[in-house]
Chain A
Amino acid sequence: EVQLLESGGGLVQPGGSLRLSCAASGFTFTNYAMSWVRQAPGKGLEWVSTISGGGYGTWYADSVKGRFTVSRDNSKNTLYLQMSSLRAEDTAVYYCAKVIAVAGGFFDYWGQGTLVTVSS
């Protein structure tokens, strides 16, 4: 059974940093790209970032480019999102999602999400 468990969310001040983690199990982690998708309170889904299975390809939404860094540790089956220069508009539930292929694609499994609140 595929399981994705996010952690690391919380309250952070504007301009601060936070690192999210997503522990994956139930599939061969290195064979699949992984993504982060966020959802601001009461709003729709926004794709944030994707990393290829081997970690060599990364893609970012314009809204986070230069501030967020996606990475993965395939030895630990864990996906990360390092967030810096955080803004109020980054407040959202952050979901990690498994991609159906080694690079890009749609998302067949989602974690439960972790809430990030950016506020002073």
Chain B
Amino acid sequence: DIQMTQSPSSLSASVGDRVTITCRASQGISNYLAWYQQKPGKVPNLLLYAASSLQSGVPSRFSGSASGTDFTLTISSLQPEDVATYYCQKYDIAPWTFGQGTKVEV
């Protein structure tokens, strides 16, 4: 099975900082990669799909990119409400594996 490895596992940044989270697939998954945000005590929320397509209603400071088997989630200007754990997920074929998560603190 393809493994999804996120880095870092946690980070702390200041308001206004540019934040980058990486997700690496152990094999090619084309662009079948989604990103979710889970705020403390809340349900996961879809941010991006197809590696770089922004879900409706998600602020434009969130963006995604892909290079081979490496995928990146970028928050261009970190806001206090972005405190959350972020997960990547492959969805090419089963199993639809999640990364282990990246906890972002402000």
Contacts from A to B (Cβ < 8 Å): 35, 37, 44-47, 50, 59, 61-62, 95, 100, 104-108, 110-113
Contact = CB atoms under 8 A, between A and B. Distances in A.
Interface of B: 1, 34, 36, 38, 43-46, 49, 55, 85, 87, 89, 91, 93-101
B54 to A, nearest CB: 13
Given A100-B49, A108-B55, A110-B43, 18 more contacts: A44-B98, A44-B101, A45-B44, A45-B89, A45-B98, A47-B89, A47-B96, A47-B97, A59-B94, A62-B95, A104-B91, A104-B93, A104-B94, A104-B96, A107-B36, A108-B46, A110-B44, A113-B43
B105 to A, nearest CB: 16
B94 A111 contact: no
Contacts of A59: 94-96
A106 B95 contact: no
